[in-house]
Amino acid sequence: MSNEEIPLARPVIGAPEEQAVLEVLRSGQLSLGPRLPAFEQAFAARLGAAHASAVSSGTAGLHLALRAVGVSDGDEVVTSPFSFVASANAVVYERARPVFADIDPVTLNLDPQAAAAAVTERTTALLPVHIFGYPADLPAFEALGLPIVEDACEALGGVHADGSPVGGRGNPSIFGFYANKQLTTGEGGMVVMRDPALKERIDSERNQGRAADMGWLD
Q: Mind telling me the catalytic residues?
A: 181
User: d(Cα 166, Cα 33) in Å, to the nearest integer?
Assistant: 27
At 16, which helix (H) or strand (E)? helix 15-27
Which residue from 117, 130, 114 is spatially nearest to 62, judged by alpha carbons? 130
Report yes or no: 138 and 150 within 8 Å, Cβ to Cβ: yes
- Strand order from edge to edge, sheet including 173-176: 51-55, 189-193, 173-176, 150-151
Helix (H, G, I), strand (E, B) or coil at 198: helix
Listing DSSP states for 112-138 in one string gives HHHHHHH--TTEEEEE-B-GGGPPP-H
Q: What's phi and psi for 106, nearest 5 deg?
A: -95, -50
Helix (H, G, I), strand (E, B) or coil at 37: helix
User: d(Cα 76, Cα 121) in Å, to the nearest integer?
Assistant: 9
User: d(Cα 125, Cα 63) in Å, to the nearest integer?
Assistant: 13
